[in-house]
């Protein structure tokens, strides 16, 4: 059983060595532990520090491509090198790598396909209030949209994946991978679990969240787009209902004036026209949801083809 710890890194010369050295090299149930660092076009000594700290594999981008792309390439690199389990962690020393044995236990016991290190954000006293509530909002939204029994820390980058889960993941977002991978996993009926962990305060400013409002907008757009791709009928039916309900209310209003007042509906024809437009648009959105759902069957077939190609390409 081979475990590869992947570390996407960009200009992390201050922290990368500490992260690598803290990774346990002997874990019960694991025969081999390796470290893969994927350098996302760093302009400092990140690569050199990683080599000196004992990284087993180093892959470098010629230019900065962003976290989502770097994560996808790190997963591909681990699969190519024969990983049975992949643990992804951050290069900023935010997570305690000594918890990796606990993180992989549900996978070793075949009780989960993906395990998330739950930072218990509510208890993080050092995290700015805006970031804390942003994380909690994202976790609550995704967990409820996917009808999960418990709220997961969906923004945590400290995760373990079995080989099957890693083969199923295909990132489309350019911003971050955390929400998309979870939605994809649940769409593929993969079992997602979590364990509580303690996260450290990062000494530098967050690169992913330089501005809370911008990050919130980007994250909500990613969640909406990905959720629409995987659950189009649910999303567009709800949207159609939101558009149609005001139209129905206007129709009822017109009928009230028509039957129960002396005016007989005079002066309210405009409301009836607006109501008709709203109901028609809502119905069209619902029909669009049906069409998108049908297209989703084609997407599922293409995903199965991609899965088969990956399985063949990364054959052990």
pLDDT band with cut points at 50, 70 and 90 for residue 316: confident
Average pLDDT over residues 110-129: 83
**84: nearest Cα among 117, 50, 51, 110:** 110
Average pLDDT over residues 253-281: 85
What was the pLDDT predicted at 59? 96
pLDDT band with cut points at 50, 70 and 90 for residue 240: very high
Task: With beta carbons less than 8 A apart as the criterion, state whether 158 and 116 touch.
Answer: yes
Task: With beta carbons less than 8 A apart as the criterion, state whether 10 and 39 touch.
Answer: yes
What was the pLDDT predicted at 262? 72
Task: With beta carbons less than 8 A apart as the criterion, state whether 182 and 153 touch.
Answer: no
Task: With beta carbons less than 8 A apart as the criterion, state whether 75 and 36 touch.
Answer: no
Q: What is the pTM of this model?
A: 0.82
The angle subtended at Cα 43 by Cα 40 and Cα 45, nearest 5°, is 95
Provide the percentage of residues in the chain whose pLDDT is more than 70. 92
pLDDT at 92 over 80: yes
List the end-to-end C-alpha distance of the chain, in Å, as a whole number.
Answer: 12
What was the pLDDT predicted at 210? 58
More confident residue, 258 or 194: 194
Q: CA 69, 146, 79, 194: dihedral to nearest 10 degrees?
A: 110
Question: pLDDT tens for residues 135-147?
Answer: 777 777 777 777 7
Lowest mean pLDDT: which of 73-77, 151-155, 292-296?
151-155
Question: pLDDT tens for residues 179-224?
Answer: 889 888 888 999 999 999 988 877 666 665 556 667 677 777 888 8
What was the pLDDT predicted at 212? 61
Give the whole-angstrom CA distance, residue 165 versus residue 109.
Answer: 15
Let me know if domain 2-230 sits in CATH 3.40.50.720.
Answer: no
Tokens of 137: 């909002």
**46: nearest Cα among 76, 23, 83, 20:** 20
DSSP 8-state class, residue 316: -
pLDDT band with cut points at 50, 70 and 90 for residue 41: very high
pLDDT at 241 over 90: yes
Mean pLDDT of the chain: 89
Average pLDDT over residues 70-78: 96
Please give the helix or strand (H or E) that residue 60 lies within, else none.
strand 57-60
* Pairing relationship of beta strands 114-118 and 159-162 according to DSSP bridges: antiparallel
Indicate the domain borders of the chain: 2-230, 232-311
Please give the helix or strand (H or E) that residue 6 lies within, else none.
strand 2-9
What was the pLDDT predicted at 202? 74
What was the pLDDT predicted at 23? 97
Across 60-74, b (16+ Cβ under 10 Å) vs e yields ebeeebbbbbbbbbb
Which residues, including other chains, have CB under 8 Å from residue 131's CB and lie 6 or more apart? Answer: 206, 209, 212
Which phi and psi angles does 265 have, rounded to 5°?
90, -5
More confident residue, 206 or 88: 88
Alpha helices (runs of H) in 158-211, residue ranges in sequence order: 163-168, 178-187
Which residues, including other chains, have CB under 8 Å from residue 56's CB and lie 6 or more apart? Answer: 34, 35, 36
**193: nearest Cα among 280, 103, 266:** 103
More confident residue, 47 or 203: 47
Q: CA 145, 146, 152, 156: dihedral to nearest 10 degrees?
A: -90
What was the pLDDT predicted at 293? 92
What was the pLDDT predicted at 243? 97
Which phi and psi angles does 26 have, rounded to 5°?
-130, 115
Give the whole-angstrom CA distance, residue 277 versus residue 134.
Answer: 36
What was the pLDDT predicted at 95? 93
pLDDT at 31 over 80: yes
């Amino acid at each position: 059983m081979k475990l590869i710890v992947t570390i996407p890194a960009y200009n992390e010369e201050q922290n990368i060595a500490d992260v690598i050295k803290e990774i346990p090299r002997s874990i019960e149930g694991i025969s081999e532990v390796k470290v893969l660092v994927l350098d996302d076009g760093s302009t400092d000594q990140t690569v050199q520090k990683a080599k000196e700290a004992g990284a087993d594999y180093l892959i470098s981008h010629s230019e900065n491509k962003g976290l989502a792309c770097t994560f996808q390439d790190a997963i591909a690199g681990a699969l190519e090198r024969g990983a049975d389990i992949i643990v992804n962690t951050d290069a900023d020393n935010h997570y305690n790598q000594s918890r990796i044995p606990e993180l992989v236990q549900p996978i070793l016991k075949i009780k989960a396909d993906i395990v998330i290190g739950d930072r218990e954000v509510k208890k993080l006293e050092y995290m700015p209030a805006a970031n804390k509530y942003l994380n909690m909002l994202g976790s609550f939204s995704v967990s409820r949209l996917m009808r999960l029994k418990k709220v997961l820390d969906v923004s945590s980058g400290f995760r373990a994946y079995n080989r099957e889960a890693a083969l199923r993941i295909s990132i489309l977002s350019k911003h971050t991978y955390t929400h998309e991978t979870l939605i994809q996993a649940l769409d593929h009926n993969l079992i997602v679990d979590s364990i509580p962990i303690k996260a450290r305060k990062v000494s530098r400013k967050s690169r992913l969240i330089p501005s809370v409002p911008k990050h919130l907008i980007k994250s909500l757009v990613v969640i909406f787009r990905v959720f629409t791709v995987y659950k189009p009928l649910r999303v567009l039916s709800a949207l159609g209902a939101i558009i149609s309900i005001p139209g129905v209310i206007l129709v009822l209003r017109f009928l009230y004036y028509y039957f129960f007042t002396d005016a007989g509906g005079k002066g309210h024809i405009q409301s009836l026209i607006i109501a008709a437009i709203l109901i028609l648009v809502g119905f069209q959105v619902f029909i669009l949801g049906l069409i998108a759902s049908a297209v989703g069957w084609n997407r599922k077939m293409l995903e199965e083809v991609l899965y088969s190609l990956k399985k063949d390409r990364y054959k052990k």
